[in-house]
């Protein structure tokens, strides 16, 4: 069958039939998988009380117009919209209910992912053990004060078909923080944006959100904004020095080596280049996929300085959101328009920074006054006791709100903070620290509508993530690398946005903190 014929069958694809296994082999394989599953997760049953349209999910799960949650170890039930990382490596999310009649699933061939931190044992059991070729972009040693040295930015591990790339950092406190995945299947590319680092702890023990969309293979390139933004992001995170250094795999991979003699067989180190396609393992060619039906806009932040006047800041952080909102005919600001933001880390906030941020999120369609800010903004963050009582407790939490900022910084906006409260419908999923980052723009005391907007991604509430204005407003400085997705104001999007908000485990209208007697979870800076 020609590849062109396969393209038209994207939503009714059939994989090439595999050779039949003997009943003994199949039984052994199933037993092995079941034993592994039992080690990782308790037996979990589908939450039958959760109202969910399974037929709609079956028809549209790959369309990017919804979000998913990660499945956690702590509970005896799970919802249809809760998945594990390994589910993303299967075309139908390892869910037989999603497979249409006479269809067969396909498996991932190649994975490129970005992460702030990683866990080798998790990579070994989820990717290497499945013999999936992979490339990891990860926060590394480089800082503004540590020069990039040849051979230290791109490390290749041929024994496990894996490559590790360390992007440049241009600030003393800059971090590489996006959580993006490109998962290549035989006939489509799955683009994933999540709030989760590549660690078992984060995928299995902390509350996360996952967005993905599948894009079909095409023979001729088609241009669109989503494709341009995606290509630009992966080229922008490429390090300036791309010499490839071959390394032996760490000992944690000793039981999953794909070819333990791979290094001995190599006569020459891999060739390097400056382009994304030249440096990753395997092949992912953005020109071969149709991104025109992307359901979201990408919101990248790339570490660096950008001039406002030449337009170089237009695609970055809060300026990117500002331009989307400013150019949206559907978005109308009223006296009741508010911003609700749940995240895990708050930087050194001050009035000017919060003002710039909120005005950008509203597309510069409001004027700031201190009187209205309290009515317009809600920062959602858990109480100290909630974290103490969480399943994994304080040692595993990912929350960063410094005690000295909260108590000692004169203009820190404590009055904007609200409690983290679970919905009554989510009572089975409590005692869980959330690592998600969600921003919702809507009308106060009203339902979600076409005018609403939703952000999900890696951005926490900080100037490093979203950017700060420098040089009297002439320059934008982005301190981190980040990535998020944005459901913008648009006609006909009310239902999908309401579905997203309904799926959240927590309420978006919690009470504020009584600053005289209550405080959120705070940590003391250790350095």
Residue 12 has pLDDT above 80, yes or no: no
How far is the C-alpha of 25 from the C-alpha of 64, rounded, in Å? 37
Residue 234 has pLDDT above 90, yes or no: yes
User: Looking at residue 449, what is its pLDDT?
Assistant: 96
Q: From 333, 271, 343, select the one nearest 520 (Cα to Cα).
A: 343
Q: How far is CA 523 from CA 224, 292, 391, 403, in A?
A: 44, 44, 19, 6
Summarize the confidence of residues 395-403 as an average pLDDT: 86
Residue 141 has pLDDT above 50, yes or no: yes
Q: From 492, 480, 515, select the one nearest 176 (Cα to Cα).
A: 480
How far is the C-alpha of 115 from the C-alpha of 458, rounded, in Å? 10
Q: How far apart are the first and last CA of the chain?
A: 61
Residue 115 has pLDDT above 60, yes or no: yes
Give the pLDDT band (50/70/90) at residue 192. very high
User: Looking at residue 4, what is its pLDDT?
Assistant: 40
Q: What percent of the chain has pLDDT over 90?
A: 73
pLDDT, tens digit (0-9, with 9 covering 90-100), for 42-59:
789 988 888 888 889 999
Summarize the confidence of residues 300-308 as an average pLDDT: 97
How far is the C-alpha of 143 from the C-alpha of 500, rounded, in Å? 38
Q: What percent of the chain has pLDDT over 70?
A: 89
User: Looking at residue 408, what is its pLDDT?
Assistant: 93
Q: Residues near 51 by Cβ (< 8 Å), separated by ≥ 6?
A: none
pLDDT, tens digit (0-9, with 9 covering 90-100), for 311-324:
999 999 999 999 99
How far is the C-alpha of 372 from the C-alpha of 369, rounded, in Å? 6
Q: How far is CA 175 from CA 167, 168, 248, 361, 473, in A?
A: 10, 10, 26, 23, 24
Q: What phi, psi does 206 have (nearest 5°)?
A: -125, 145
Residue 458: how many other CB atoms lie within 10 Å:
28
Asked if residue 402 lies in contact with residue 523, where contact means CB atoms within 8 angstroms, the answer is: yes
Summarize the confidence of residues 72-98 as an average pLDDT: 95
Least confident of 274-278, 320-324, 390-394: 390-394
Q: What phi, psi does 152 have (nearest 5°)?
A: -110, -5
User: Looking at residue 236, what is its pLDDT?
Assistant: 97
| DSSP H stretches of helix in 348-419 | 351-361, 370-376, 384-388, 403-408
User: Looking at residue 24, what is its pLDDT?
Assistant: 32
Question: Which H or E run includes 438?
Answer: strand 438-443
User: Looking at residue 172, what is its pLDDT?
Assistant: 81
Catalytic residues: 177, 435
Q: What residue ranges define each of the domains in the chain, with the CATH number in brackets?
A: 38-294 (3.30.870.10), 297-503 (3.30.870.10)
Give the pLDDT band (50/70/90) at residue 267. confident
How far is the C-alpha of 263 from the C-alpha of 92, rounded, in Å? 36
Summarize the confidence of residues 326-334 as an average pLDDT: 90
Residue 345 has pLDDT above 50, yes or no: yes
Q: From 155, 178, 84, select the one nearest 125 (Cα to Cα).
A: 84
Q: Which residue has the higher pLDDT, 177 or 332?
A: 177
Residue 3, annotated ligand binder? no
How far is the C-alpha of 362 from the C-alpha of 358, rounded, in Å? 6
Give the pLDDT band (50/70/90) at residue 14. very low
**How high is the mean pLDDT of the chain?**
89
What strands lie across the sheet with 133-138, from one edge to the other? 82-83, 68-70, 209-216, 188-194, 180-184, 110-115, 133-138, 162-165, 154-157, 244-246
Residue 417 has pLDDT above 80, yes or no: yes
- 193-213 in b/e burial notation, b at 16+ Cβ within 10 A? bbbbbbbbbbbbbbbbbbbbb
DSSP structure class, residue 41: S
Residue 200 has pLDDT above 70, yes or no: yes
Residue 437, annotated ligand binder? yes
DSSP 320-348: HHHHHHHT-SS----TTEEEEEE-SEE-S
Summarize the confidence of residues 252-280 as an average pLDDT: 92
DSSP structure class, residue 524: -
Distance of CA 181 to the CA centre of its chain: 8
Least confident of 5-9, 125-129, 136-140, 471-475: 5-9
Which tokens in the block code for residue 434?
Answer: 């959330």
Q: From 57, 127, 132, select the one nearest 93 (Cα to Cα).
A: 57
Q: Is 418 exposed, middle or buried (0-12, 13-18, 19+ CB in 10 A)?
A: buried
User: Looking at residue 101, what is its pLDDT?
Assistant: 80
User: Looking at residue 27, what is its pLDDT?
Assistant: 36
Residue 15 has pLDDT above 50, yes or no: no
Residue 162 has pLDDT above 80, yes or no: yes
Summarize the confidence of residues 76-85 as an average pLDDT: 94
Name beta bridge partners: 77. Answer: 45
Q: Rounded to the nearest 10 degrees, how much is the dihedral formed by the CA atoms of 491, 494, 495, 499?
A: 140
Q: What phi, psi does 38 have (nearest 5°)?
A: -65, -35
Residue 20 has pLDDT above 90, yes or no: no
User: Looking at residue 3, what is its pLDDT?
Assistant: 40
User: Looking at residue 148, what is its pLDDT?
Assistant: 67
Summarize the confidence of residues 146-169 as an average pLDDT: 88
User: Looking at residue 30, what is its pLDDT?
Assistant: 42
Residue 246 has pLDDT above 90, yes or no: yes
User: Looking at residue 173, what is its pLDDT?
Assistant: 86
User: Looking at residue 527, what is its pLDDT?
Assistant: 46
| DSSP H stretches of helix in 170-209 | 200-205
Q: From 334, 338, 326, 341, select the one nearest 381 (Cα to Cα).
A: 341
How far is the C-alpha of 88 from the C-alpha of 107, rounded, in Å? 9
Residue 304 has pLDDT above 90, yes or no: yes
Summarize the confidence of residues 242-257 as an average pLDDT: 94
User: Looking at residue 493, what is its pLDDT?
Assistant: 97
Asked if residue 32 lies in contact with residue 39, where contact means CB atoms within 8 angstroms, the answer is: no
Summarize the confidence of residues 402-426 as an average pLDDT: 94
How far is the C-alpha of 89 from the C-alpha of 424, rounded, in Å? 33
């Amino acid at each position: 069958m020609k590849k062109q014929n396969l393209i038209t069958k994207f939503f009714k694809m059939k994989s090439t039939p595999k050779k039949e296994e003997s009943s003994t082999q199949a039984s052994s394989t199933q037993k092995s998988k079941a034993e592994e599953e039992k080690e990782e997760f308790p037996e979990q049953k589908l939450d039958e009380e959760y109202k969910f349209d399974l037929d709609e999910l079956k028809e549209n799960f790959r369309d990017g117009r919804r979000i998913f949650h990660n499945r956690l170890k702590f509970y005896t039930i799970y919802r249809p919209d809760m998945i594990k990382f390994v589910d993303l490596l299967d075309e139908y999310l390892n869910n037989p209910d999603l497979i249409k009649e006479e269809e067969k699933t396909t498996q991932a061939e190649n994975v490129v992912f970005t992460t702030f931190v990683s866990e080798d044992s998790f990579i070994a059991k989820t990717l290497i053990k499945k013999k999936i070729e992979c490339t990891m972009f990860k926060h590394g040693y480089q800082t503004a004060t540590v020069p990039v040295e040849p051979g230290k930015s791109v490390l290749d591990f041929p024994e496990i078909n894996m490559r590790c790339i360390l992007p440049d950092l241009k600030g003393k406190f800059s971090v590489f923080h996006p959580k993006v995945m490109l998962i290549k299947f035989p006939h489509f590319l799955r683009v994933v944006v999540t709030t989760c680092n590549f660690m078992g702890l984060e995928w299995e023990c902390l509350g996360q959100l996952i967005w993905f969309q599948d894009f079909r293979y095409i023979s001729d390139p088609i241009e669109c904004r989503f494709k341009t933004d995606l290509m630009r992001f992966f080229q922008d995170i490429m390090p300036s020095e791309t010499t490839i250094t071959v390394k032996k795999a760490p000992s944690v991979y000793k039981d999953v080596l794909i070819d333990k003699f791979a290094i001995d067989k190599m006569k020459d180190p891999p060739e390097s280049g400056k382009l994304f396609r030249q440096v990753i393992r395997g092949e992912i060619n953005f020109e071969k996929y149709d991104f025109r039906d992307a359901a979201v806009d990408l919101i990248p932040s790339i570490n660096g300085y950008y001039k406002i006047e030449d337009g170089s800041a237009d695609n970055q952080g809060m300026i990117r959101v500002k331009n989307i909102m400013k150019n949206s005919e559907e978005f109308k600001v009223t006296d009741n328009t508010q911003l609700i933001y749940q995240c895990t880390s708050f930087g050194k906030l001050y009035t000017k920074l919060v003002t710039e941020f909120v005005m950008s999120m509203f597309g510069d369609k409001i004027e700031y006054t201190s009187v209205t800010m309290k009515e317009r903004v809600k920062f959602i963050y858990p109480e100290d006791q909630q974290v103490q009582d969480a399943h994994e407790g304080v040692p595993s939490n990912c929350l960063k709100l410094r005690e000295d900022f909260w108590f000692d910084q004169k203009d820190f906006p404590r009055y904007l903070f609200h409690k983290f409260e679970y919905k009554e419908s989510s009572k089975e999923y409590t005692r869980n620290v959330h690592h998600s980052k969600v921003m919702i723009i809507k009308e106060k005391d009203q339902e979600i509508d076409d005018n609403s907007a939703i952000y999900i991604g890696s951005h926490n509430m900080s100037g490093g993530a979203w950017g700060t204005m420098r040089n009297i407003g002439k320059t934008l400085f982005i301190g981190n690398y980040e990535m998020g997705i944005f459901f913008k104001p648009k006609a006909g999007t009310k239902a999908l946005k309401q579905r997203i908000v309904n799926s959240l485990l927590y309420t978006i209208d919690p009470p504020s903190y009584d600053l005289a007697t209550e405080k959120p979870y705070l940590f003391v800076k250790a350095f």
